[in-house]
Amino acid sequence: MMKPFEYFRPTSLKEALALLNTYGEEATLLNGGTDLIVRMREGHSSPKAVIDIKHIEMLRKIKVTDSEITIGACVLLNDVGSHPVIRERVPFLAQAALSVGSKQVRNRATCIGNICNASPLADTATPLLALDAEVEIYGEAGVKRIPLKDFFVFVRKTVLKQNEIVTSISFNTNKDAKGIFEKMSRRKEVDLSTVCGTVFRGKDGYRVSMGAVAPTPIRLYKTEAYLDAHDLTEDVIQSACEVAVNEVSPISDIRASKAYRQELVHLILKHALSEWL
């Protein structure tokens, strides 16, 4: 049962930060709330102060330039998935965004929330990792950018400090680059990934990322290096899949066994690479 809490609705980042400083560890940010409210109802989280950032106007925008896309912290997953430029330049990110939960959930849930929640199987994490995305963080010292790959620390843990706010995530786009996202789940709709992954090929080489195969969504650097060093053939694909399977460290749980997850890693990589053969 949910414990009582104080609810705040700041309209500026400065105001939000002041509240975080006031309440310290007892404060939590509320964005879409699709994770937080469930956790609060089940008693896993009992904050004294809930700071709703959805009304900070600047966090609700998607900014597009010729070479970069920036997704604000409060942009909904459905809005990421339906954005024409995102669909055109990075369709695999749109696809990943639309694979989260149900349409109703995606009308509340945000892309940044999906990232900050730091689930090992965050669906939007693998395309953003593959895009070498950067997270913009606002704090006492002002604004800083860190690579997404350095953002995740462990299951549900990020480098984010208690008095910091992720304001957006950005990545470069290049029309020659291609990416493929695939999600494997027990049920096609409204399910968590058993394994999800993105395979990306740009002018500087391959980037491969997988979810639900380690404590955080991960890049598969050895697999990338192997692919970068070889021309794509069926044998290379097979070998790359073997490298990938050895590079991940999935666990067995009620959703799938370790062996099945390894099987799916193999399949996701094979499916993507075969498209480019």
Partner 1 sequence: MKFVGKSVKRVDGVKKVTGTLKYVDDIKLSRMLYAAVKRSPHAHANIISINVEKARALKGVKEIITGDQFERRGGLYLEDKNFLAVGKARYRGEGVAAVCAETEEIAQNAVDLIEVEYEVLPAVTNAKEGMKPEAPLVHPDLGDYHWAPVFFPKPGTNISNHYKLRKGDAPEIFKEAEFVVENNFYVPHVQHVPIETHTAIAQMDADGYLTVWASCQSPYAVRQALSAAFDIPLNKLRVLSPAVGGGFGSKAGTTLEGIIIPFAMHAKGRPVKLTYSRQDEFENAYVRQGLHAAIKTAVNKEGKILAVQNEFIWDGGAYTEYGVNIAKAAGYASAGPYDIDNVWTDSYCVYTNHPVGGPYRGFGMSEIHFGIEQNLDIIAEKLGITPVEIRKINGMKPGGTTGTGEVVTVSGLMECLDQVVEDIKFYERSEPSSPTKVRGKGIACGWKAPSMPNNAASSAIIKLNEDGTAHLLVSAQDIGQGSDTVMTQIAAEVLSISPEKITIKTGDTDHTPYEWQTVASRITYSAGRAVYEACHDAMDQLLDLSQIKLGIFKRDLELRDGYVVSKIYPDKKVSISELALGLNFEDGSAIHGPIIGRGSFIPPNIRNADKKTGLGDHPVVFWTYGVQGVEVEVDLETGQTKVLKVASCFDVGRVVNPQLLEGQIEGAIVQGLGTALFEELMLKEGKVLNPSFVDYKIPTADDMPEMIIKFVENPEETGPFGARGVAEPAMVPSAPAIANAIYDATGIRLNTMPMTAEKVLAAMQAK
User: Pick from 60, 108, 178, 255: which binds partner 1 (CB under 8 A)?
Assistant: 255
DSSP for 116-180 reads HTT-TT-TTHHHHHHTT-EEEEEETTEEEEEEGGGTEEETTEES--TT-EEEEEEEE--TT-EEE
Question: Strand 49-52 to strand 6-8: parallel, antiparallel, or no bridges (unpaired)?
Answer: parallel
User: Pick from 256, 265, 272, 273: which binds partner 1 (CB under 8 A)?
Assistant: 256
161 binds partner 1 (CB under 8 A): no
Number of residues that bind partner 1 (CB under 8 A): 17
186 binds partner 1 (CB under 8 A): yes
1 binds partner 1 (CB under 8 A): yes
66 binds partner 1 (CB under 8 A): no
Q: Which is nearer to partner 1, 227 or 256 (CB)?
A: 256
184 binds partner 1 (CB under 8 A): yes
Contacts of 224 (CB under 8 A, 6+ apart): 205, 206, 207, 208
Q: Closest separation between CB of residue 107 and partner 1, Å?
A: 17
User: Pick from 66, 176, 189, 231: which binds partner 1 (CB under 8 A)?
Assistant: 189
Question: Strand 68-72 to strand 142-147: parallel, antiparallel, or no bridges (unpaired)?
Answer: unpaired
List interacting residues with partner 1 (CB under 8 A). 1, 184, 186-192, 254-257, 260, 263-264, 267
